Amino acid sequence: MMNMINAQNPFFEISDTPHGTAPFDKIKTEHYEPAILEGIRQQTAIVDAIVQNPELPTFANTIETYEKSDALLGRVLSVFFNLNSAETNDELQLLAQKMTPVLSEHSNNINLNEKLFSRIKAVYDQKSSLSLTPEQTKLLDDIYDGFIRRGANLQGEAKEKYRELSKELSNLTLQFDENNLKEVNNYQLVLTDRAQLAGLPNSFIEAAKETAKEKGVEGWVFTLQAPSYGPFMTYADNRDLRKELYLAYNTKCLHDNEYNNLEIVKKIANTRMAIAQLLGYDTYAAYSLKNRMAENSDAVYKLLNQLLDAYTPTAQKEYREAQELAREVQGSDFTLMPWDWSYYANKLKDKKFSINEEMLRPYFELSQVKEGVFGLATKLYGITFKKNTAIPVYHKDVDAYEVFDKDGSYLAVLYTDFHPRAGKQSGAWMTDYKGQWIEKESGENSRPHISIVMNFTKPTESTPALLSFEEVETFLHEFGHALHGIFANSTYESLSGTSVYRDFVELPSQIMENFAIEKEFLNTFAKHYQTGELLPAELIQRIVDASNFNAAYACLRQVSFGLLDMAWYSRNTPFEGDVKAYEQQAWAKAQVLPVVEEACMSTQFSHIFAGGYSAGYYSYKWAEVLDADAFSLFKQEGIFNHEVAESFRKNILSKGGTEHPMVLYKRFRGQEPTIDALLIRNDIKN
């Protein structure tokens, strides 16, 4: 029976697609389960062979063999879980619920395999006499430490307790994300009176009309997806409607229905704490931060408090300025609420700098922005992108590109997926469908398949996709992650590309955002989609002048998320209280806007409850310190300077997790970073 299934399953066939890319055109939902089960069987067989090997444990027969043991399973799961985020459906979600405990059990069977760990430990204990390369040493350290961090040293009941907790955590995080997606998809604001659209740009009104048509309703439809929610909060004159949409967005997974995440939040936080304590740590933060640049909670709080002290006075001033503008219109007793912030901040920005997002959109047509971002990589690194329609994709909106190095050699495949749809999680991210590694036997460098997924403004019947400036920055950010994957050049897949410390992984992405306000870069692509006119120099100058507008508020917003994250994961006792009250207390000192009692971030905070940023959300600000310091070298030598770019590629982008990130950073920069460059960039310090 298995042979018949194998013969009909594209995961078991030798791929005839370009570069062995995933055959999305052949993969069906029914193919996943047998492929996952076969992948589990194959990895189990390899692990059994390692354990039963009569030879003494060596780096080659134990560490390297284990590193490659999930070849099939990893390939299947990369497609399965990536599509469950980018193009899911009820069938796929049900299968994820079914397979998650199976995969958790399989993972535990390996991590808690005493004989396997004893062989890994035997190699680790003789590390100093093995003459390993730095990369081999890092692989050995990571695998050994990974087993310990996943319960290998536990005994008896503790080991069974770990199994139970890790399986429960897998199910909870999956449910958390699915509930969020359902809440987003289940909400729509339907307007039928054109007067209610006052203030909204025509292009946005047209997009809402298209959404209504797609959903089969009359009038205009606004959703909680970013390209709909953001502009509505920025431009809609009707304050009651702004409040309605704000509350819909900020009460996701709080309602009295099956998608409520309040209990799930508690269970995830408590389960992570229980796992950490089982492994000998006081808190989950202590467990998580052991393998981070920050190393401990004290270092995280030091950074967050430094930022609080530096930015709070300016952030409060920014709020007062917006409040004053609102009171000129609404009266002296008007209180600026969170649903007013984007609206009046936008008016204040326009008043101060004569600039707003809608003024810029015509110059940021998506295909032109794509040319500009790809062209930036060409200018910096000499790489080129060629669309290949022979590479299968998983949705008609997705494009696939071959990436070629400066010498013309093949470097990677890049998938781009730009627009929101019902089956896609909100937000933006980079991922891969295949990692990079070097084949030991042949020496062949097996190149990666990278994907960037976003939720940008969609085209309408009369206009192409015109991006906001913020969306351009998001594109640059995710493309920076993509370059980290594209340039990967490690021997081992688990050390390749973005497989680095969480508080280092945002450096390659955030450094790219700096280019968004550089005239030399904007002049390469920012042209009016109708006239072809270049973005005028005086408008570019206004972008530069406005680049620090409300930067302090934006910083404190990120700090507040970091404080909330640390509050959930610095606990050493189970949480049984009120989630909303706890949240409001946790981030109180970073709040600039009035508190809205009904709102709650935790129930929708996927980064820390379902993603990889648990006790790690501070990473964005940590990496911002790095990126400001690193980009100052580009500014000093020229933003397209080939020597600086080549050094960044060689010392950061291509190295993955093969060495400690501070070693890599100092090799590029020549020094450790300080917060000064960030403060100067944001005009907080001269």
Give the residue among 143, 286, 295, 307 at the shortest CA–CA distance from 662. Answer: 295
Domain edges within the chain: 2-111+113-153, 187-250, 362-494
Give the Cα separation of 430 and 480 in Å (integer).
9
pLDDT category, 4, cuts 50, 70, 90? Answer: very low
Mean of the pLDDT values across residues 427-440? 96
Q: What is the pLDDT of residues 347-357, one digit of tens each?
A: 999 999 999 98
Whether pLDDT at 381 is above 70: yes
Angle between helices 29-52 and 114-125 (to 10 degrees): 60
Hey, is 62 helix, strand or coil? helix
Q: Provide the edge-to-edge strand list for the sheet that holds 410-417.
A: 384-387, 399-404, 410-417, 449-453, 429-434
Give the chain's end-to-end CA distance (angstroms, integer): 72
Secondary element (H or E) of residue 440: none
Q: Any idea how long the chain is? A: 686
Q: Is 478 a catalytic residue?
A: yes
Strand, helix or coil for residue 415: strand
* CA dist., res. 560 & res. 97, Å (int): 32
Confidence of residue 238 (pLDDT cuts 50, 70, 90): very high
Q: How far apart are CA 243 and CA 666, in angstroms?
A: 48
Over residues 58-64, the mean pLDDT reads 98
Q: Please tell us whether the domain made up of 2-111+113-153 is placed in CATH 1.10.1370.40.
A: yes
- Tell me, what's the pLDDT at 674? 87
Encoding tokens for residue 28? 């069906």
Report the predicted TM-score, pTM, of the whole model to 2 decimal places.
0.94
The reported pLDDT for the residue numbered 1 is 39
Q: pLDDT above 70 covers what percent of the chain?
A: 99
Mean pLDDT, residues 53-60: 98
User: What's the chain's Rg over C-alpha atoms?
Assistant: 25
DSSP per residue over 86-146, as a string? HS--HHHHHHHHHHHHHHHHHHHHHHT-HHHHHHHHHHHHTGGGS---HHHHHHHHHHHHH
Supply the DSSP string of 315-383, one letter for each residue.
HHHHHHHHHHHHHHHH-TT----HHHHHHHHHHHHHHHHS--HHHHGGG-BHHHHHHHHHHHHHHHH--
**686 pLDDT above the threshold of 80:** no
Predicted pLDDT of residue 6: 58
Same CATH topology for 2-111+113-153 and 362-494: the answer is no
557 Cβ contact list (under 8 Å, min separation 6) = 590, 592
Query: Which tokens go with 506?
Result: 């945002």
Query: pLDDT tens-digit profile of 189-208?
Result: 999 999 999 999 999 999 99
Residues 256-297: tens digit of each pLDDT: 999 999 999 999 999 999 999 999 999 999 999 999 999 999
Give the list of residues 6+ apart from residue 78 with CB closer than 8 angstroms, or none.
431, 432, 433, 434
Burial readout 651-681 (b: 16 or more C-beta within 10 A, e: otherwise): bbbbbbbbbebeebbeebbeeebebebbbeb
- The active-site residue out of 87, 478, 518, 624 is 478
The whole-number pLDDT of residue 7 equals 58
Q: Calculate what percentage of the chain has a pLDDT beyond 90.
A: 97
Mean per-residue pLDDT for 420-437? 96
Q: What is the pLDDT of residues 628-682, one digit of tens each?
A: 999 999 999 999 999 999 999 999 999 999 999 999 999 999 999 989 999 999 9
Mean pLDDT of the chain: 96
pLDDT tens digits, one per residue of 461-517: 899 999 999 999 999 999 999 999 999 999 999 999 999 999 999 999 999 999 999
Task: Determine contact, residues 386/404, Cβ cutoff 8 Å.
Answer: yes
pLDDT at 3 over 80: no
For domain 362-494, the CATH architecture is 3-Layer(aba) Sandwich (3.40)
Residue 590: C-alpha distances to residues 299, 489, 494, 587 (Å):
18, 41, 37, 6
Predicted confidence band of residue 577 (pLDDT cuts 50, 70, 90): very high
pLDDT tens-digit map of 553-566: 999 999 999 999 99
Distance CA 180, CA 605 (A): 9
